[in-house]
Chains A and B, each alone.
Chain A
Amino acid sequence: MACIFVSSVLEAPVDRVWARIRDFNALPRWHPMIAESQIEDGLPSDKIGCVRNFRLQNGDRIRERLLGLSDHELFCTYAILESPMPLENYVATLRLTPVTEGNRTFIEWTAEFACAPEVEEELAHDIAQNVFRGGFDSLKRHFGG
């Protein structure tokens, strides 16, 4: 089982950051890799079990199911259903925690997945670098950090 952990600090209060990322269908608005996204079957994007179907800038398509969403603990957990990546059992969590000193936000993105051993390092690196850090860098440009 491969694990990825990436974290950063954003110069904005958690409620502002949460408002930007809470919507499971909002990736194109804040993540530079994502071109367009829709929720399948016309479901609300905060209904647990809904599926987002999105297209990356490079044309790849990914489907992910919302497994957990908490407005109290400020996290979102989801699983990949379909993707061009050679992995399975991918589950990821994006989580915010207030930094009371300075009224900032600690942001963590973690993932676990299974894959063939020979591709594990490259896959983990690509996801950490392009998806997670890429997303954080975009949030840092928006909020500062």
Chain B
Amino acid sequence: MVRVVRSTVLESPIERVWEVLRDFNGHDRWHPAVATSEIERGAPSDQVGCVRRFRLKDGSELREQLITLSDLEQSFSYCLLDTPIPLFNYVAHVRLVPVTDGDRTFWSWQGRFTTRRGEEQEMARLVGEDIYRAGFAAIRQHLGEAA
């Protein structure tokens, strides 16, 4: 089992960050890797169990299912159903916590998965850097924050 954890602090209040992140169908509006996103069967994007279908900028497609969403804890979890890359049993968890000192936001994004032997490092780098850290930078830009 590979575990990847990335976290950062945003200068924006938690309500603003959560408003953007909470939409399970909104990643195509801010994440650089995602070209289009849609929820299957026309389900609402905050219905736990809904499945989003991403088309990535490179043309590949993946499907992910929302398995937890909490407006109280400002967190959500999702798992990968279908993916073109060797990420198996992938579950990710996103969590926001207020930084009361300065009205900022702590953002933690972590995932765990299995993969083919020998590809652990490359997959961990891809998830941690190309997905999580690139997502941090994209949200900063989306919210109009300096890097």
Residue A93, interface by CB 8 Å: no
Residue B71, interface by CB 8 Å: no
Interface size class of B (residues with CB under 8 A): 10 to 19
Residue B104, interface by CB 8 Å: yes
Inter-subunit contact A101/B9 (CB<8 Å) = yes
Inter-subunit contact A97/B98 (CB<8 Å) = no
B39-64, CB under 8 A of A: which get 1 and which 0? 00000000000000000000000000
A6 to B5, CA, bound (A): 23
Q: From residue A13, how far is it (CB to closest CB) to chain B in Å?
A: 13
A122-134, CB under 8 A of B: which get 1 and which 0? 0000000000010
A29-63, CB under 8 A of B: which get 1 and which 0? 00000000000000000000000000000000000
A73 to B102, CA, bound (A): 25
Residue B134, interface by CB 8 Å: no
Residue A136, interface by CB 8 Å: yes
Considering the complex, give the chain B residue whose CB is closest to the CB of A108. B97
Residue B8, interface by CB 8 Å: yes
A104 to B108, CA, bound (A): 13
Residue A5, interface by CB 8 Å: yes
Residue B30, interface by CB 8 Å: no
A98 to B97, CA, bound (A): 13
A64 to B102, CA, bound (A): 30
A101 to B100, CA, bound (A): 19
> For residue A7, which residues in chain B have a CB less than 8 angstroms away from its CB?
97-101, 106
> For residue B12, which residues in chain A have a CB less than 8 angstroms away from its CB?
none
> For residue B108, which residues in chain A have a CB less than 8 angstroms away from its CB?
97
Inter-subunit contact A101/B8 (CB<8 Å) = yes
Q: From residue B145, how far is it (CB to closest CB) to chain A in Å?
A: 13
Interfacial residues of chain B within 71-107, with CB under 8 A of chain A in the complex: 97-102, 104, 106
> For residue A102, which residues in chain B have a CB less than 8 angstroms away from its CB?
8-9
> For residue A70, which residues in chain B have a CB less than 8 angstroms away from its CB?
none
Q: From residue A42, how far is it (CB to closest CB) to chain B in Å?
A: 37
A140 to B9, CA, bound (A): 16
Residue B115, interface by CB 8 Å: no
